[in-house]
Amino acid sequence: MFKKILIANRGEIARRVITTCREMGIAVVSVYSDVDEKAIHVLEADEAVCLGDAEPAQSYLNMDKIIQAAKETGAEAIHPGYGFLAENADFAARCEQEGIKFIGPSSQVIKDLGDKITARQIMTKGGVPVIPGMTESNPDPDFIAQEAEKIGYPVLIKASAGGGGKGIRIVESAETIKESCQAASREAMTAFGDGTIYLEKFFDTAKHIEFQILADQHGKTIHLMERECSIQRRHQKIIEESPSGALDDDLRAKMGEAAVAAAKASGYQNAGTVEFLLDKDKNFYFLEVNTRLQVEHPVTEMITGVDLVRQQLEIAAGNPLALNQEDIQIRGHAIECRVYAEDPENGFFPSPGVIEFMREPKGPGIRNDCGVYSGFEVPVNYDPILSKLIVHAENREASTLRMIKALKDYIILGIKTPISFLIEVLQSEPYTSGEVYTDFIETHFTDWKPKLDELALARIAYIVDDLAGGKKNSNFASAESKEISPFQTLGNWRL
């Protein structure tokens, strides 16, 4: 096993990797940018190396600096987390060239699966069902328009090198196909440096189901059941759960077998995720393979009891999988909510700033993978995720109720978060009845605004006033009474 690894990431995922490394007796090197000097992943590491400027290209995306940091500290391996360089085939290749173990699949596998068209070709040859669409790239909008007519509208234009919801356009008719192609290609070029696009059939009532897989270097591949990831905003998941209520044992077995077949067809090793689209008739189709640890991996850990980071490290060290497929059983139900620094009342616009106060929820079955603390300044430079709140209970109803309570107990002051939005989603009838599809937010919460409880606000104002010493401002007192509303004495205040 490795004696020391470097984590090429930040925030809650870096801290998550540190936790398992501590349990395994592995020393950790964190890297950080100027604005992350006091970040929690830096404070908890055994060693930390500053990469320089906050600009990602100068820090967390700078391959030369990260490789140099690994060499200088004697790190034997690099864990990329997710985002940044996690799915960068060139970075994995650099690690291979420098004799540093990349904790993930090989650079060639990352390259093959990172190109959505190549991935579709691999899966087709491997017998994995894929969504009807193009299997060759062609930048000509006229050609794509012809293919759209063959497939039938609506269609989905996707970036071949894409991810994170970038370079995607839903096209309902031929009138907008060419314009959408150009817009998707431009966005893909900006986000990934590759403007290649392709076409798939779009299913307007579908579920996003993904299977966690583990594959060692000795030919064994297993899956760890599914995650329901249909609740998305702008193609980004915000609530995930496991297991999915849409799958019975027979369908789960078939999709699990397809996920394993996808991993074997691509020569996959380490932890990864095979994503599928499930239509209203229970037909499933391959979407893509994420060649890294997923943001939502904790729900799988909660229902299976398997530490996925530990498995990543064991596999990367060359150890055979100690788990067999029959060892993987579903125990209860888990839900994850992503908590971002963003303003749900303002189009979920990022809300950086200082966290004036934070109190994490606690209790049985509650886990909070968190990368911030009271007093920490959330920078504007990176993805605004603060934490992932996960709960586990005996069934979906109990898990939902536990999550709602945990969210209500989660206090973050000083910046905006979507906590109130998440609560309303979980309390909604479509969610509780399991009617969740990829268009869930657009259908039910397009113009969401928080429900203001004036009585609750008055109570909060009274408590704040009392804690502040009950300071009074006589300018607001009436002639008839000396009693003054808390709202009149607090001055300029906000929640």
Quickly list DSSP for 374-443: TT-EE-SSS--EEEEEEEEESSHHHHHHHHHHHHHH-EEESS--SHHHHHHHHHSHHHHTT---TTHHHH
The pLDDT tens digits for 230-245 are 999 888 899 999 999 9
Sign of the dihedral through C-alpha 25, 27, 31, 32 = positive
Give the separation between CA 384 and CA 411, rounded to whole angstroms: 17
> Is the pLDDT score of 428 beyond 80?
yes
CB 338 within 8 A of CB 388: yes
The CATH code that applies to domain 4-103 is 3.40.50.20
CA-wise closest residue to 452 among 461, 444, 465, 443: 461
Scored b (16 or more CB within 10 A) or e, 359-385 reads eebeeebbbbbbbbeeebbbbebbbbb
pLDDT at 492: 54
pTM exceeds 0.85 for this model: yes
How far is the CA of 11 from the CAs of 194, 240, 265, 355, 388, in angstroms? 28, 20, 34, 14, 11
CATH 3.40.50.200 at 132-201, yes or no: no
292 classed as catalytic? yes
**pLDDT > 80? residue 134:** yes
303: buried, middle or exposed (CB in 10 Å: 19+, 13-18, 0-12)? buried
Q: Express each pLDDT in 436-465 by its tens digit.
A: 999 999 999 988 888 766 666 677 777 777
Average pLDDT over residues 48-76: 97
Domain ranges (residues) in the chain: 4-103, 132-201, 206-444, 454-489
Q: How confident is the model at residue 476 (pLDDT cuts 50, 70, 90)?
A: very low
Among 35-44, 117-126, 201-210, 484-493, name the one with the lowest average pLDDT: 484-493
Mean pLDDT of 429-433: 96
Q: Check pLDDT > 70 for residue 112.
A: yes
d(CA 20, CA 311): 10
State the DSSP H helix or E strand holding residue 111, giving kind and residue range, or none if neither. Answer: helix 107-114
Angle (CA) 224 230 236, round 5°: 100
Superfamily assignment of 206-444 in CATH?
Answer: ATP-grasp fold, B domain (3.30.470.20)
Instruction: Return the pLDDT at 477.
Output: 46
* Residue 487, CA atoms < 13 Å, CB-side half-sphere: 6
Cβ of 442: how many Cβ atoms within 10 Å? 12
Catalytic residue selected from 292, 367, 396, 402: 292
pLDDT of residue 26: 98
For range 155-163, the mean pLDDT? 83
Residue-level pLDDT at 457: 63
pLDDT score of 393 more than 60: yes
> What average pLDDT does this structure show over 38-60?
97
Of residues 387 and 233, more confidently modeled: 387
